[in-house]
């Protein structure tokens, strides 16, 4: 049984690697389309920030994924079948150039194999949030198949309108709005920071550095940095010529793509961490082991008590997704960078910024959303500011079908694989 656990961990990291090159297009497609970076430079850039996310995000999404099914009622074969199904579907959609969701593939596979093993009640469909917190469960994840791209599209559309009005020379109101937004952003971050007294495990002896590098605080600092950077540009946008504005927007794409890559790494790596944590929890329960070696001493959070995870697990997951990103995914780059709508530096900055902000907020609420859906919705949103026909709806409808089918197809595939594996294991 221990061998089976090791096989699951290895395959989970393989999935994480595949996720990296499958979803690389999400972060680099617009940068490549606008020729800000060459494809090789773009994947290096994205991979670096995928890995950097290790120091930025907590484990909230990992916890949500680990609890997709009740770990006390499943076995390791369930998790193995789910991971294998997710790998197969990811490779198939990558081969066909379809930007489907690696997140939903993994969750669908996990849930489908669990249902095949113990019925529908074994899946955590809906769990109310504690103390007014955000609810969790598979139904919430399914809801965000629709909500994530819609939020991305709405934020992208609003940022586009903000940019367009900031370029006007005949009115001061956009600048007044921008200054008020900067003040509101600083105030929001100040009141949402975790103070030194509330940090359970400070990373440094220094109070200042502990507060500055607390994952919760880093996330909001990044949100503030993104908004304040764009705001600064908007304050002098109207004074720039078309050529200089385009040059500045291309430089800003480096910031926006880095921000989105951070969100991608933080969101998607945690999903694999959650699968590994669930596998260890199931192994402990089914094998009767009372004490695990320190390198596999995983405890899932329960009843307000914090969980724990050896450092090598998040480090391995973030490394795998970063290495996968370095491998690229050029078929999907073409779909994301040109087939949905024509992308310039303006569209690139807007879409990536909207996507990054959406990912940071959903990660805060521990919702494992699809980075693919988020950036696609953001690209559609900026396309709508030109005209409805600027979005190639034929391509978009095909993508939506892939999104809708991912969870049920992955679940069915995982169930079949589970029944086959059960014969031999």
On the question of pLDDT at 113 being above 90, the answer is: yes
Looking at the chain, the whole-number percentage of residues with pLDDT higher than 90 is: 35
Asked if residue 321 lies in contact with residue 19, where contact means CB atoms within 8 angstroms, the answer is yes
Q: What is the value of pTM for the model shown?
A: 0.85
Q: Which residue has the tokens 């004490």?
A: 291
Give the tens place of pLDDT for each residue, 263-291.
888 888 888 998 998 898 888 888 777 67
Give the tens place of pLDDT for each residue, 346-371.
888 998 899 999 999 888 888 888 88
Compute the distance between CA of residue 378 and CA of residue 371 in angstroms, rounded to an integer. Answer: 10
Q: Which residue has the tokens 């579907």?
A: 89
Structure confidence at residue 112 (pLDDT): 95
Helix (H) or strand (E) holding 277: helix 242-287
Give the tens place of pLDDT for each residue, 296-348.
777 766 655 566 788 889 999 999 998 888 776 544 444 444 444 456 788 88
Structure confidence at residue 187 (pLDDT): 96
Average pLDDT, stretch 413-422? 96
The number of angstroms, rounded, from the C-alpha of 105 to the middle of its chain's C-alpha atoms is 13
Give the tens place of pLDDT for each residue, 139-176.
998 888 888 889 999 999 999 999 999 999 889 999 99
How far is the CA of 315 from the CAs of 9, 13, 65, 106, 200, in angstroms?
13, 11, 18, 20, 21
> Comparing C-alpha atoms, which of 66, 110, 57 is closest to residue 301?
66
Q: What is the DSSP letter of 237?
A: G
Which of the two residues, 234 and 29, has the higher pLDDT score?
Answer: 234
How many Cα atoms within 13 Å fall on the side-chain side of residue 336? 32
Average pLDDT, stretch 370-387? 79
Structure confidence at residue 337 (pLDDT): 42
The number of angstroms, rounded, from the C-alpha of 278 to the middle of its chain's C-alpha atoms is 19
Give the tens place of pLDDT for each residue, 56-103.
887 778 888 888 888 888 999 999 999 999 999 988 887 877 767 777
Asked if residue 143 lies in contact with residue 401, where contact means CB atoms within 8 angstroms, the answer is no
Structure confidence at residue 74 (pLDDT): 92
The number of angstroms, rounded, from the C-alpha of 322 to the middle of its chain's C-alpha atoms is 13
Give the tens place of pLDDT for each residue, 69-80.
888 889 999 999
């Amino acid at each position: 049984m221990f061998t089976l656990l090791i096989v699951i961990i290895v395959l989970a990291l393989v999935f994480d690697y595949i996720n990296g090159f499958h979803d690389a297009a999400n972060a680099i497609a617009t940068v490549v389309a606008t020729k800000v970076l060459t494809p090789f430079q773009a994947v290096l850039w994205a991979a670096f920030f995928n890995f950097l996310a290790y120091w930025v995000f907590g484990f909230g999404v990992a916890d949500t994924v680990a609890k997709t099914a009740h770990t006390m009622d499943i076995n390791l074969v369930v998790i193995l079948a789910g991971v294998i199904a997710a790998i197969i579907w990811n490779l198939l959609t990558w081969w066909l150039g379809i930007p489907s969701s690696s997140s939903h593939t993994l969750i669908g596979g996990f849930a489908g194999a669990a249902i095949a093993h113990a019925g529908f009640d074994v899946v955590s469909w809906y769990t109310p949030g504690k103390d007014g917190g955000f609810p969790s469960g598979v139904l919430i994840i399914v809801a965000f198949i629709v909500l994530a791209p819609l939020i991305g599209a709405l934020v992208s559309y609003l940022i586009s309108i903000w940019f367009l009005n900031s370029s006007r020379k005949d009115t001061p109101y956009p600048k007044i709005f921008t200054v008020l937004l900067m003040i509101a952003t600083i105030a929001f971050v100040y009141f949402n920071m975790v103070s030194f007294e509330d940090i359970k495990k400070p990373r440094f002896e220094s109070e200042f550095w502990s507060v500055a590098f607390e994952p919760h605080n880093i996330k909001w600092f990044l949100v503030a940095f993104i908004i304040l950077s764009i705001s600064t540009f908007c304050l002098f946008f109207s004074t720039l010529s078309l050529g200089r504005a385009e040059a500045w927007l291309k430089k800003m794409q480096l910031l926006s793509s880095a921000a989105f890559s951070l969100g991608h790494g933080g969101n998607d790596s945690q999903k694999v961490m959650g699968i590994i944590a669930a596998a260890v929890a199931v192994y402990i329960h089914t094998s009767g082991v009372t004490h695990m070696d320190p390198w596999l001493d995983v405890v899932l959070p329960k009843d307000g008590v914090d969980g724990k995870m050896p450092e090598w697990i998040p480090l391995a997951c973030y490394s795998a997704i970063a290495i996968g990103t370095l491998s690229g995914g050029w078929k999907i780059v073409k779909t994301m960078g040109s087939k949905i709508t024509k992308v310039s530096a303006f569209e690139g900055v807007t879409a990536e910024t909207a996507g990054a902000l959406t990912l940071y907020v959903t990660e805060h609420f521990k919702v494992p959303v699809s980075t693919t859906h988020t950036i696609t919705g953001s690209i559609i949103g900026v396309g709508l500011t030109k005209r409805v026909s600027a979005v190639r709806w034929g391509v978009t409808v095909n993508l939506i079908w892939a999104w809708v089918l991912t969870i049920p197809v992955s679940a069915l595939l995982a169930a079949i694989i589970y029944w086959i594996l059960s014969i031999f294991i």
